[in-house]
Structure 1
Amino acid sequence: MNLKSKDYGLRAKDDFQILRQFQFHSNHIDILNRLFTPLIGSSSTGLYIYLDQFSEQTSQAELTHYTIMSELKINLLDFRKQMDVLEAIGLVKTYVHHDTAHSHFVYELIQPPTGKQFFDDPMLSVFLYSEVGHQRYHQLKHFFASSKKQVDLSQFTEITRKYTDVFNIPHQRVPETDIEVTEAQTYQGLNLSDVEFDFEVLYDLLQTHFISSKIIGSQTKQLITQLATLYGLTPEAMKSIILKSLTSDQELSFEELRKHARTYYLMEHDQQLPKIQVKQPPQTKKQSETNKETHKEEDELKPGSDRWLELLDNTSPIEMLASWSESEPTDHQKRMVEELIEREKLSFGVINILLQYVMLKEDMKLPKNYIMEIASNWKKKGYTTAKQAYQQTMQQETKKKEKKAQPQRNYRPQYQHYSRELTPEWLKNRDQRDQQSKASSEEEHDEQFEKERQAFLKDLQQTWNGGKKE
């Protein structure tokens, strides 16, 4: 394998070994759960606890990364991301050996810090405060401060026996052996070996105030590097903070140094403390090309695109329904699709557009009568491809939206008052005909009356003459 010593080259078949050189106990669980979980998340601390079980592996069978992937239900990329976090926070060290066949990894679990070590670390304590807030931070600090009761021994005298008071001094020489007893690596905080701070400039700035560089020892250097990294401090800002942190004996107080550095940062950043953030790895050329291809494929599969329509033309409506609902279509839905194919003779693409259209309009429901009515209409219009059905559907929806967007006019019926002068001719003629008919009837009645009257008078005259005719 052409892998360098610092390359991971991690594959699922590569074996691993867990190394733990300390006794893991409940106090460590408290530290991980209460202090580290708010910083790095439960997935990373959970992985630390999970890996501990393999530190006491007694069987000769090799452990491969398939075991981790299978039991934690994660892929290698997620595993490596969580391990990166554990390594960066100082809880795990990773070693690798490459050969021609495979790679062998050793993951060493580092003993978590004590509560005091954690809260004395300027970076860890500030990050925890930023994550949990003031009240929870002091609750956690009080928990670890009170876990071991402090007893005031100032009024007591120590009377502890010395070794020589109890035991004789041995005169026998201990034989030399090749066996070495190793100690567990203690927690050393965050690794800032790659961080550079210009101490030479800081020494020159302090010299102008007649402050000797001797006050900055190795521990002070480490603290200054941590504070400069945490708060982004320049040598000029650090000089001002150091001057404020000097005691009356011209010695540097670590507590004052941390306090003034924090105050300086808060004034510059609107009283907001820094938070721990995972760095996003830069994209390689290959990853960038892959992302471009992915975005290109997503654009090509957008609704309405040629590739999307082609996919619908070649996808069974049953498969389409299964992908949309993420479940198997019901028997009723399957029979309905078969009916659309057999009775209406619609193509896959048209049926897919039809079903999607109805689901979007009917809140993901598929009412059969409504679907069959649209299918019959589309069959009459001669839709044969998904493109035809999609374009016509979009045009109809656009027209509906435009119609709704038009302002509604208030309809008021217009009434027209007609005068007598505008009486229709047929009505006028009807009145004239009625009058003429009435006059003619009266004339006929008068003539009849006159005849009857004459006959009556004639009969009356004969009666008066005694029935004798003149």
Structure 2
Amino acid sequence: MNILPLDFYQVITKTELNDCDRNILTMLYQPIMGHISLSLYLTLWSDLDNSEGISSEYTHCHLMEVMQTNLETIINARNRLEALGLLSVYYGGNETHKNYVYELYAPLTSKEFFSHPLLNVILYNTLGKKEYERVKSFFELPEIKLNKYENITKTFDEVFKVVTKTKVDYKAEYKDRVKGEIKFSSKHFDFNLFYASLPKTVYNNKKFSKEQENLILQLSYIYNIDELASAMLVKNSINEHGIVDEKELRKAASKWYQIEHSGKKLEVIDLTQPEHLKTKLTDDSKRAKMVYRFETETPYEFLKKSYNGVKPTTRDLKLIESLMIDQKLNPGVVNVLLDYVLLTNNKKLNKNYVETIAGHWKRLNIQTVEEAMKVAESEHKKYKKMIEKTSKTKTKKNEPLPDWFDKEFETVAPTEEELKELKEKIKKYS
């Protein structure tokens, strides 16, 4: 919307502003929003008639003259105030008399600011460690130990006596500490993908509150966390009551960032197959049960069960992380790959062999469990040759195959029992 110098504006506020706010705005907000935005805030503040909480009507020429800058610069500064929750803008009027209302909000207290998941981080990154610590110490209270002192403070009734009982009208609206809210657009964050990546134990068609979603957006913005990683962090921040512990979520996001930026890999082995990529099962066959298991178990759980309850080694876990992070394979697809390799390679996860197959599946853009199972079946002979190349010792012993395999390509003649089982399978899938 185009604003002209002769367009009118009024300033209103429902909050009380004081000298402490000036310090907070100058020392904490100014490094983030810049000195022109601070100047605009203070100018709008000075426009107010403090006794009324509403200003006279001004044109934007007034702002240009007082601040000695052009209107475009003022609008850019205004946008920063809006983004930081210090100002709301309302538009009204008609073509001949355009009018804007600017509602000022109080800044956060120093305690709220340094506890904020977004502002605190931006201030640190802007100032650097040394200046950040200096500014933070300015707002810290000196520690006075009162445990050796006796509290002798008088109570109200020890000092005052109420002589008359007068009825007081409480209906009027009074000034208070009214603060704006920092809001985020969700256009760069796919909440559908985020919710689909959460296990059913965490998300059962019941979305989080607006405040929780806003926190997730903030953390995603600050630490550049995508939807899948956000889902994992939220899952790991659930407390014993099944509620997201926001404090733990902030810690987890910060730790995630530190790990990512120290060159280490994030553990993603607690993810399950995204909901939108799961198969709609219509029977309870052995194959369908395996599909369900591949899609509902995390790679860690699947591997642990495959090892008969023994925890996977660090080497195995790093291999899984590599499959999910570097090769970007979905959790269910990773489970199919693990099952195939373990059963055809004598319960051994040969890194080179696994990564060769993973690279092939990545190039084929394998997304679902069904796709992974089909390609494993069709490419079995090729993968068998890979085993011989990557293994130090060759064996002529026939390797067992996964139960979910279609075994029609085997050269050994099937027994009558196997033929019967195969016919039953064909009936089910026909």
**TM-score normalised per structure 2:** 0.50
Name which one, 1 or 2, has greater alpha-carbon Rg: 1
| TM-score scaled by length of structure 1 | 0.46
Report the structure, 1 or 2, having the larger helix content. Answer: 1
